[in-house]
Chain A
Amino acid sequence: MKKSILDLYPTTKLLGVLFVFISILIVPGYAYQYAILPICMVIALLAGVLQSFCSLFFKGVTLIVLFIFIIQGFFYPGETVLWSGWIFSLKLEGLNYSLLLTSKIVAITASIILFFQITKTKDLIIALEKMGTPKKVTYVIMSTLQIIPQMRKQLNVIMDAQRSRGVETEGSLMIRAKAIVPVLGTLIISSFENTQERVITLESRAFTTQRKKTNVTVLPKGPLDTIVRIVLLLLLVLIIWKGVIG
């Protein structure tokens, strides 16, 4: 089960995310939208990524959802007062509005996080290339994902180097502010000027050639992909049908 979820073709999973996007806009209310979260959790459990999914999801969303309830609950214009104290009053309309708003945020966030947890970015890039995305675009995305961790490491190296020269990174605001220039300036200028070497490397590997290139990694499309796609399509048609009738 775990393997079959992880081995789904990237665009099939992407269609799943798209399905969530469209369906939550069509279906009224908030029950269906909130139901997306447990569904995503079950898929994450089956794929063996439940822990990282939950930690990312709750880290990203909890505060926002909480603040939406507080701010909209108290400040949304409405008549039905549920509770009041001092100058604040909690209103039913505000709570309803918060439920509608947060249900959509929860559904979309959950589906996107799940997508990136069960899809390798490399596979996604290859699938995009097969769909005809220009090589320049996929290179930029892939290279960004690789460079960020490298730069983080380099930041720590430069900070240690500057500390050993006597640049202080702790103390009052002014002292800490003075550390910004020697650390960030060095990092930025060196990495920008390195791009020239990168360009030479790319050119020497025929990056700009117009010919079609081959790929080492092969991404097979299985029968499960077709099944999932058909099921998603049927569900979408059903939801639109219900939306039109009701």
Chain B
Amino acid sequence: MKRGLKKDFTLLAITMIPIGVAINVVAYQLMTILKMPIYLDVIGTCIVAMVAGPWVGLVTGGLGNVVNGMLNPVSIPFAITSMAIGLTAGYLSKYRMLVKPWRIIVSGLLIAVVSSATSSPIQVILFGGVTGQSGDIVMATLLATGKQIWTAVFSQTLLLGVVDKVLAILASSLIVYKMTPQFLSKMHYGDIYMRSKKMNRKGDQVK
């Protein structure tokens, strides 16, 4: 199967983009309903990036923020962060970094670093280091202890992002493994997650 920037955007990959964006929104909504302290709002981007490739992941991330921006324009500049997350997740998946538990955790940490590294410049330059969310209190505390604004914003986003990103990437790989081989075989990057399931004579799966 040929891969690449132009070849990755098959019709199936394109129809996955809206679903990925919607999953980001819905996952965030579920976390609010369940009152969980994490967001998991990159889960859709990660899944799409894993099975449809880094460039489709990049588009999914960016589009999500733009659509959000129709109601809350503050999220539009952070599209760069989401795009970077999609791209990173896609490449990690391509180089088989999302197949074993410890590799997944390392990948989650890497994604958290990428996300902080891209979001803190936007946050500092455009919004004076502020997000309007609860994390600002952490940052104000760091600033009060005499840290520079760059260090404060970076450490705050990393601190709050690390658990969220590791859990999100863990959840997305679990979900990708649950997808049917028939579906994964149609995706350009899905072959890594296809498992040959042992069958008995009746065709049932053997544990």
A interface with B by C-beta (< 8 Å): 56, 59-61, 63-64, 67-68, 70-72, 75, 87-88, 97-98, 101, 105, 108-109, 112-113, 116, 121, 136, 139-141, 143-148, 150-152, 155, 159, 169, 173, 176-177, 179-180, 183-185, 187-189, 191-193, 195-196, 198-199, 202-203, 207-208
Contacts and interface: CB of A to CB of B under 8 A. Distances in A.
Contact of B34 (A68, A147, A169): A169
User: Do most interface residues of chain B lie in helix, strand or loop, or is the interface mixed?
Assistant: helix
B183 interface: yes
Interface centre among A97, A173, A189 (most CB of B within 10 A): A189
Contact of A112 (B30, B40, B43, B73): B73
A152 B171 CA distance: 20
Given A61-B74, A192-B16, A152 B34 contact: no
A67 B132 contact: yes
A180 B44 CA distance: 14
Contacts of B174: 185
A109 B74 CA distance: 7
Contacts of A140: 14, 17-18, 59, 63
A64 B26 contact: no
Contacts of B179: 189, 192-193
Main secondary structure of the interface of A (DSSP, over half): helix
Contacts of B23: 151, 187-188, 191
Cβ-closest 4 pairs across A and B: A63-B132, A64-B132, A112-B73, A144-B18
Contacts of A150: 22
B70 interface: yes
Given A63-B133, A193-B180, 14 more contacts: A59-B72, A67-B136, A71-B128, A72-B129, A136-B9, A148-B22, A148-B25, A159-B33, A176-B35, A180-B40, A185-B178, A191-B19, A199-B12, A203-B11
Contact of B127 (A97, A105, A112): A105
B71 to A, nearest CB: 6
Interface in B69-92: 69-74, 76
A46 to B, nearest CB: 21
A180 B33 CA distance: 11
Contacts of A199: 11-12, 15
A59 B71 CA distance: 10
A116 B140 contact: no
B169 to A, nearest CB: 14
Contacts of B34: 169, 176-177, 179-180
A112 B22 CA distance: 22
Given A188-B23, A207-B11, A108 B16 contact: no
B131 interface: yes
A72 B128 contact: yes
A169 B33 CA distance: 9
A185 B120 CA distance: 31
Given A68-B128, A71-B136, A184 B11 contact: no
A98 B128 contact: yes
14 contacts: A63-B132, A71-B129, A109-B73, A112-B76, A139-B14, A147-B18, A152-B29, A159-B30, A192-B19, A195-B16, A196-B12, A196-B186, A198-B15, A203-B11
Contact of B47 (A68, A141, A146, A188): A188
B25 A196 contact: no
Nearest to A187: B26
B143 interface: yes
Contacts of B21: 144, 147-148
